[in-house]
Amino acid sequence: MFVDSSPPSRGMFAINTDHAVNSDLSRHSDGWMTWTSASLYLAWLGFSDTHSSINHYKVTVGSSYMATDVGKKPDAKYIHSTANEDNGDEGKVQLFKVQTKGLINYDILYVTIWAVNGVGLRSDLIYSAFRRVPGGALELIRRCDSMSCEGHCVCAPQDQKCPSSPSLNSCTDISSNNSNSILLVMDSNGYSSTDLSFTSSANILRGQWIISQSQGLAPLWYEWSVGYTGFSTPTGIYNLVDEKNWQDGGQFTDGVYITNRDVNLVEHSSYSFYVRVWYTVDSYAVFKSDGITVFSQTPPVASVRGKVVSNHTVSM
């Protein structure tokens, strides 16, 4: 059995750019990144996994940020190809037809892609917005407004956000007074749907969540994080100076956190999965699991000191 505990690295869409070095980047060819009345012809590259390799990709298409309402088959798998054009360090370009609902009513499309490696781990999401250009081309939107009060957008540098739009209200955390859909967050080992209290892994935390009570507004999208159980917000795992505390969850209902190489979770400490649910562009609630405790070491064998009992034969 081959062990791979690292997710794939993410890539990028293969589309024309106005960058000064455009002539040196052959990431786009005619016929790529186009649309017809009920399909998108997408091209991407740069996803990689040096251990268990890329197995397949998943694609969602929506009419708004992180939405999936335009794609016709959101669960379809797009099998990684090794036969297409090679772009050196960026790997083989991936070309796929993605079926959609009729596109006549959608001028802007939000497309999300992620890769899945041979052991089932997902890469981080890449997401962009495209404008349908008459004639069949897709134009990448490079300048955009923030999609939320926290600056979620599709045109910021990787893992960064846009300045919050002046037209949006300040963010409102409604966790303590939530009349919208309620989540149940569970700690999992990836093989069981039941909530677990202990884990034997010092490197991996898994969480999954379901809507336990449907009321009010439904979730627009999810974010997830991990931290020590004793806090109301995720604390103690991510370095907030150079790491994101909240990871993009999109429409996922599960997440996996893997420590960096040579870093272990603290033995006998309890960790929780945190899920932030966005109901509107300026209101959210945070839910957390009840925690899972790390026991990655075997119990010690006790050495008991005591008196020795021996048998003697007594002559009568």
**pLDDT of 26 above 60:** no
d(CA 236, CA 213): 30
**pLDDT of 23 above 50:** no
Residue 266 lies in a domain: yes
**pLDDT of 10 above 70:** yes
Looking at the 3D structure of the chain, how many domains does it have?
A: 2
Both 131 and 244 in a single domain? Answer: no
Each residue of 118-165: pLDDT tens digit?
A: 999 999 999 999 999 999 999 999 988 899 999 999 999 888 999 887
d(CA 199, CA 170): 39
Both 248 and 132 in a single domain? Answer: no
Both 177 and 133 in a single domain? Answer: no
Q: Band of the pLDDT at 92, cuts 50, 70, 90?
A: confident
Both 179 and 118 in a single domain? Answer: no
Sign of CA dihedral 245, 246, 248, 253: positive
Residues of the chain above pLDDT 70, percent? 88
d(CA 74, CA 152): 22
Residue 35 lies in a domain: yes
Indicate the length of the chain as a whole number: 316
> What is the Cα Rg of the chain in Å?
24
Both 182 and 282 in a single domain? Answer: yes
Amino acid (one-letter) located at 203: N
Both 275 and 190 in a single domain? Answer: yes
Both 196 and 284 in a single domain? Answer: yes
Both 24 and 115 in a single domain? Answer: yes
Give the residue from 121, 140, 159 where a domain finishes: 140
Q: Band of the pLDDT at 42, cuts 50, 70, 90?
A: very high
Query: What is the rounded average pLDDT of the residues 3-14?
Result: 92
Both 179 and 281 in a single domain? Answer: yes
pLDDT of residue 21: 40
> Domain holding 219: CATH number?
2.60.40.10
Q: Band of the pLDDT at 304, cuts 50, 70, 90?
A: low
Residue 300 lies in a domain: no
Each residue of 198-233: pLDDT tens digit?
A: 999 999 999 999 999 999 999 999 999 999 999 999
- Which tops the pLDDT comparison, 2 or 103? 103
pLDDT of residue 314: 60
Mean pLDDT across the chain, nearest whole number? 89
Both 21 and 117 in a single domain? Answer: yes
Both 223 and 108 in a single domain? Answer: no
Highest mean pLDDT among 82-86, 133-137, 302-306: 133-137
CA contacts within 13 A on the Cβ side of 200: 4
Q: Domain range holding 201?
A: 172-294
Residue 249 lies in a domain: yes
Both 185 and 268 in a single domain? Answer: yes
Q: Which residues does residue 206 pair with via DSSP β-bridges, in sequence order? A: 188, 256
pLDDT of residue 94: 94
> Domain holding 69: CATH number?
2.60.40
Over the chain, what HEC string results? CCCCCCCCECCEECCCCCCCCHHHCCCCCCCCCEEECCEEEEEEECCECCCCCEEEEEEEEECCCCCCCCECCCCCCEECCCCCCECHHHCECEEEEEEECCHHHCCEEEEEEEEEECCCCECCCEEEEEEEECCCEEEECCCCCCCCCCCCCCCCCCCCCCCCCCCCCCCEECCCCCCCCEEEEEEECCCCCCCCCEECCCCEEEEEEEEEECCCCCCCEEEEEEEECCCCCCCCCCCCCCCCCCEEEECCCEEEEECCCCCCCCCCCEEEEEEEEEEECCEEEEEECCCEEECCCCCCCCCCCCCCCCCCCCCC
pLDDT of residue 298: 79
pLDDT of residue 24: 45
Tokens matching residue 195: 């909530």
156: nearest Cα among 169, 143, 167, 140: 143
- Which tops the pLDDT comparison, 245 or 301? 245
Give pTM, 2 decimals. 0.87
Query: What is the rounded average pLDDT of the residues 275-284?
Result: 97
- b/e per residue 79-104 (b: at least 16 CB within 10 A): ebeeeeeeeeebbbbbbbebebeebe
Residue 251 lies in a domain: yes
Q: Band of the pLDDT at 261, cuts 50, 70, 90?
A: confident
- Which tops the pLDDT comparison, 248 or 192? 248
d(CA 166, CA 282): 12
Residue 312 lies in a domain: no
d(CA 159, CA 161): 7
